[in-house]
């Protein structure tokens, strides 16, 4: 006896299995993620669950061939039309909201990066440095001056009798976790040197830039900071230079091409033209607004965990294969540049807190911090540069830290107090 039941269930099952196979993390990353990755564990779990349900129900339909009533063409047309109309209405509503009613922060999150004014980004491309702080940028209490420093306006031609200190480093010097400029570490350092130690002629310039490592700071010193005529430069680096060692060994070179690429923006995908698609992607963790790593990270960068997330031994092995030889060379070069230009230079060891469960608490970074601080001490000893062993003095208590690398407002004050005490004790201002 022949089975005359329609094979609609089998066809549906095959279709669902095909969709389930396509609906995977790698395809979705390729199609929807700006930076090529979906890092949110909840989103990855949701994708896996949906994929399992699609394939599971598809297999059931293919095997059991359940009786399925096929809708009429009129019903299908009505469904398609109503769906398209709903999508169009949602798109129009979100576009009006984003353009006229969203906050500045919401606009930065959901707008396509090409719709955001260049002056609204706190970093801008630079022909030698790759990028630098956007001049005249302002976001609430965070602002940059016309020269691109997170400081008040000052004359690059130093006035007579002013003692100018420039602080070189990455986001820990920039003090990225403190929004108010007047509560950052450099600002507090100037205040303490003036109010507590009587150095009323001192100016402290925040020359730190998020993401900078010793390569960028060397160039920053040579091509920007020397032009503001500092009397003292303080260099504070470690974590971003540890990042630079987590690259393929064959790509670990003196030009840092294993870690960096030239500033380049990603192409605009077709679906990125839709506010609805961006809104859904951002909230589902399928996509994100572009960020610094999107535009400057080399394809040779491996990062923490090697090729497999969580493989700490692979990262430790990379650090062994890629010793901090270029960090040492860059520090020595900064010492030489400063000395040649009759500028005093101090090197500070790098402090962190291991109590936040972020990458700063992992074994590879703990090893890297220790190695880089040893290099700092050795370079200072060999070159005669001032040395401030800040890492041995800064408490690791969570109350001073926003995360494992960056201080909060309370930590910024304490950090400034410790640096001010070092500067006063060194006698460098009186020289």
Assess if residue 210 is contained within a domain. yes
- Looking at residue 232, its pLDDT comes to 98
- Looking at residue 76, its pLDDT comes to 80
Assess if residue 302 is contained within a domain. no
41 and 141 together in one domain: no
Assess if residue 115 is contained within a domain. no
Band of residue 4 on the pLDDT scale cut at 50, 70, 90: low
Q: How confident is the model over 331-358, as a mean pLDDT?
A: 98
Yes or no: say if 184 and 151 are a contact pair by the CB < 8 Å rule.
Answer: no
Assess if residue 105 is contained within a domain. no
- Looking at residue 271, its pLDDT comes to 78
Q: Rounded to a whole number, what is the largest CA-CA distance in the chain? A: 106
CA separation for the pair 395, 401 (Å, rounded): 9
- Looking at residue 373, its pLDDT comes to 99
CA separation for the pair 283, 281 (Å, rounded): 6
Residues 6+ apart with CB under 8 A from 75: none
64 and 139 together in one domain: no
**Least confident interval from 36-45, 76-85, 251-260, 275-284:** 36-45
47 and 184 together in one domain: no
Question: Which tens digits make up the pLDDT trace of 369-411?
Answer: 999 999 999 999 999 999 999 999 999 999 999 999 999 999 9
**Least confident interval from 173-187, 217-231, 265-279:** 265-279
146 and 66 together in one domain: no
- Looking at residue 53, its pLDDT comes to 83
207 and 327 together in one domain: yes
Q: How confident is the model over 28-39, as a mean pLDDT?
A: 60
- Domain stop point among 51, 70, 89: 70
Assess if residue 292 is contained within a domain. no
Domains in the chain: how many in total? 2
338 and 209 together in one domain: yes
171 and 42 together in one domain: no
**Least confident interval from 36-40, 102-106, 244-248, 353-357:** 36-40
203 and 335 together in one domain: yes
146 and 63 together in one domain: no
User: Can you give the residue range of the structural domain that contains 410?
Assistant: 135-245+323-426
Yes or no: say if 149 and 175 are a contact pair by the CB < 8 Å rule.
Answer: no
Q: How confident is the model over 224-232, as a mean pLDDT?
A: 98
Beta bridge partners of 407: 401
- Looking at residue 212, its pLDDT comes to 98
Assess if residue 22 is contained within a domain. yes
Question: Which tens digits make up the pLDDT trace of 261-305?
Answer: 999 988 777 778 899 989 888 887 777 888 899 899 998 999 887
421 and 341 together in one domain: yes
Assess if residue 191 is contained within a domain. yes
Band of residue 8 on the pLDDT scale cut at 50, 70, 90: confident
234 and 146 together in one domain: yes
- Domain stop point among 31, 53, 70: 70
**Least confident interval from 6-20, 22-36, 130-144, 211-225:** 22-36
pLDDT of 332 above 80: yes
209 and 351 together in one domain: yes
Q: Check which CATH number belongs to the domain holding 215 and give it.
A: 3.40.50.1110
Question: Which tens digits make up the pLDDT trace of 45-80?
Answer: 777 888 888 888 778 888 877 777 767 888 788 878
Across the chain, what does the average pLDDT equal? 90
Residues of the chain with pLDDT > 90: what percent? 67
Band of residue 91 on the pLDDT scale cut at 50, 70, 90: very high
Q: How confident is the model over 124-150, as a mean pLDDT?
A: 97
Assess if residue 285 is contained within a domain. no
pLDDT of 28 above 80: no
- Domain stop point among 20, 40, 70: 70
- 53 against 13, higher pLDDT: 53
pLDDT of 2 above 70: no
């Amino acid at each position: 006896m022949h089975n005359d039941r329609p094979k609609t269930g089998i066809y549906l099952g095959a279709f669902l299995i095909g969709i389930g196979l396509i609906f995977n993390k790698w395809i979705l990353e390729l199609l929807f993620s700006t930076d090529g990755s979906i890092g949110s564990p909840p989103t990855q779990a949701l994708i896996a669950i949906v994929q399992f349900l699609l394939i599971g129900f598809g297999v059931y339909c293919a095997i059991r061939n359940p009786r399925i009533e096929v809708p009429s063409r009129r019903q299908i047309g009505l469904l398609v039309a109503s769906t398209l109309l709903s999508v169009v209405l949602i798109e129009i509503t979100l576009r009006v909201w984003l353009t006229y009613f969203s906050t500045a922060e919401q606009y930065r999150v959901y707008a396509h990066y090409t719709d955001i004014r260049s002056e609204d980004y706190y970093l801008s491309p630079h022909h030698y440095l790759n990028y630098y702080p956007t001049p005249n940028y302002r976001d609430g209490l965070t602002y940059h001056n016309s020269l691109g420093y997170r400081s008040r306006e000052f004359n690059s031609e130093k006035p007579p009798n002013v003692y100018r200190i420039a602080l070189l480093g990455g986001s820990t010097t920039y003090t990225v976790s403190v929004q108010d400029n007047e509560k950052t570490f450099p600002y507090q350092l100037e205040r303490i040197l003036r109010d507590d130690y009587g150095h009323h002629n001192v100016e402290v310039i925040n020359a730190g830039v998020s993401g900078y490592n010793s390569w960028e700071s060397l160039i920053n010193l040579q091509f920007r900071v020397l032009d503001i005529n500092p009397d003292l430069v303080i260099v504070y680096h470690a974590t971003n230079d540890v990042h630079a060692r987590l690259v393929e060994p064959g790509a670990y070179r003196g030009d840092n091409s294993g870690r960096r690429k030239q500033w380049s923006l990603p192409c605009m995908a077709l679906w990125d033209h839709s506010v609805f698609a961006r809104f859904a992607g951002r909230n589902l963790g399928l996509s994100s607004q572009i960020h610094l790593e999107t535009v400057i990270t080399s394809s040779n960068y491996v990062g923490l965990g090697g090729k497999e997330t969580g493989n700490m031994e692979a990262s430790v092995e990379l650090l062994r294969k890629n010793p901090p030889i270029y960090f040492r060379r860059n520090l020595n070069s900064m010492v030489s540049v400063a000395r040649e230009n009759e500028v005093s230079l101090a090197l500070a060891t790098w402090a962190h807190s291991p109590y936040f469960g972020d990458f700063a608490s992992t074994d590879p970074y703990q090893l890297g911090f220790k190695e880089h601080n040893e290099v700092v001490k050795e370079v200072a000893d060999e070159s005669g540069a001032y040395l401030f062993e800040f890492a041995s003095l800064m408490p690791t208590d969570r109350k001073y830290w926003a995360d494992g690398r960056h201080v909060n407002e309370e930590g910024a004050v304490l950090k400034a107090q410790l640096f001010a005490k070092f500067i006063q004790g060194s006698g460098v201002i009186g020289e």
